[in-house]
Amino acid sequence: MSEVELSSLAGKLRRELKSRAKTRPVDVRIGKKGLTDNVMTELRKVFEKEDLVKVAFTQDRDVRTTLLAEIEDKLVAVSIAVTGKTTTLYKPLPSRK
């Protein structure tokens, strides 16, 4: 799935993903050090097994927005739900052969 397709997810799919995201526990917490190599490694590990990743931030709004944009760019994922200091990212699972 390309980046363009991710940004324009169908309404029905987006609703289903948001519903799953509500009950999902936080997978990765981003602390005061921000977006480190270890955080990116953990995000990649979760995306290898799951199509959704729930991330909790401790930073203020401006920093969270910047970090979220950076994560989306580096991982080619899309944010489907942002609630307070928590966001859920979606990236389709790679097809297995």
Strand, coil or helix: 70: helix
pLDDT at residue 6 tops 70: no
Q: Where are the domains of the chain?
A: 3-90
> What pLDDT shows up at residue 35?
92
Please choose, from the candidates 2, 10, 27, the residue with its C-alpha nearest in 3D space to the C-alpha of residue 80: 10
Q: For 49-71, what is the mean pLDDT?
A: 94
Position 7 confidence tier, pLDDT thresholds 50, 70, 90:
low
pTM equals 0.84
pLDDT at residue 8 tops 50: yes
Cβ–Cβ < 8 Å for 25, 96: no
Q: For 5-14, what is the mean pLDDT?
A: 72
Would you identify the CATH topology of the domain 3-90?
Translation Initiation Factor IF3 (3.30.110)
Cβ–Cβ < 8 Å for 88, 52: yes
